Amino acid sequence: MEKKAVRVAYGEALVKLGEENEKVVVLDADLAGATMTNGFKKAYPNRFYDCGIAEANMVDVAAGMSTMGLIPFCSTFAVFAGRNYDQIRNGVCYPKFNVKFGFSHAGITLGEDGGSHQAIEDIALMRVLPGMTVFVPSDANECYQCVEAAAKIEGPVYIRTARLATPVYDPRPFTVGKGVVIRDGSDCAIFTCGIMLEHVIEAADILAEKGVNAAVVSFHTLKPFDEELALQYTAKCRKVFTVEEHSVIGGLGDAVASAIIGNGVEKFLKIGINDVFGQSGKPADLLREYELTGPQIAEKILKNL
């Protein structure tokens, strides 16, 4: 199966978007080679702005551009969502400006850069902001769809992308705010987002070998969240597990919990980063360390059925 990093797809999608819409501009904070906005810089140098290591200033510049009818996409590392949070909150979300944030290198699979650069809190930060749409694409094709949708949304949008190359799945139907059923099942439901889909599918295969028919549902949009689909599979399966490459506080797990609490769930378990920082290591080793590989996910589910 072809593999491609979601951040690469983000860069490619911006180039295509720039060709289709001359109002699209891209801002970066001295990381164009990592966030993959360098392709847009090459294609449209007059619409690309390198703001240097000044993320807060970048957001304020983008806010101003949006008032002129432009559609700015700001890019940097996801961990810097905290560095410019005041500007995102008060400079963009409060006045409801039309600024998009494509933040890369999210989660622990960033790897050797270590805990100081591994964003495990960015989804929580963005979900809580009024008016913010939050996308967490699971693969390259879904990232293309998220970028295209973001440009059409009037208001702030956050797109979480990853460094690690991961499987590219066949394109799936895409609607903002709607989850996608990857695999039907009745014994338990596994809800996931982002690049953890690969490992959840592996876990479901392992569970199937042990006689457990697990449904797999992927949510590319965490806000607005598809509560209807979450409730549907809660009612069907009764046992619900969430898997994310993010803190178990404030991310997908809490979005699901808010949707299904009091609606007949017999078992609910959040699987993710358990209130600790990341550390330096190879991505595969880090996934094992934090018990986020397919076999480890399957083991946890089996213990809790």
At 101, phi and psi to the nearest 5?
A: -120, 115
Start-to-end CA distance of the chain, whole Å, equals 31
55 in catalytic set:
yes
Q: Which amino acid is at 175?
A: T
Q: Can you tell me which residue has the tokens 């449209």? A: 44
Can you tell me the distance from the alpha carbon of 266 to that of 176, in angstroms, rounded to the nearest whole number? 29
Can you tell me the distance from the alpha carbon of 117 to that of 131, in angstroms, rounded to the nearest whole number? 27
Residue 239, SS3?
A: strand
Strand partners, 181: 217
How many C-beta atoms surround the C-beta of residue 287 within 10 A?
Answer: 22
Cβ proximity of 104 and 195 under 8 Å: no
Q: What share of the chain is helix, strand, coil (3-state, %, to 5)?
A: 40, 20, 35
Cβ proximity of 44 and 70 under 8 Å: no
User: Residue 284's closest CA among 275, 295, 276?
Assistant: 295
Can you tell me the distance from the alpha carbon of 256 to that of 264, in angstroms, rounded to the nearest whole number? 13
At 20, phi and psi to the nearest 5?
A: -85, -25
Annotated active-site residue in 12, 55, 142, 245 = 55
User: Residue 246's closest CA among 304, 189, 292?
Assistant: 292
Positions marked catalytic:
55
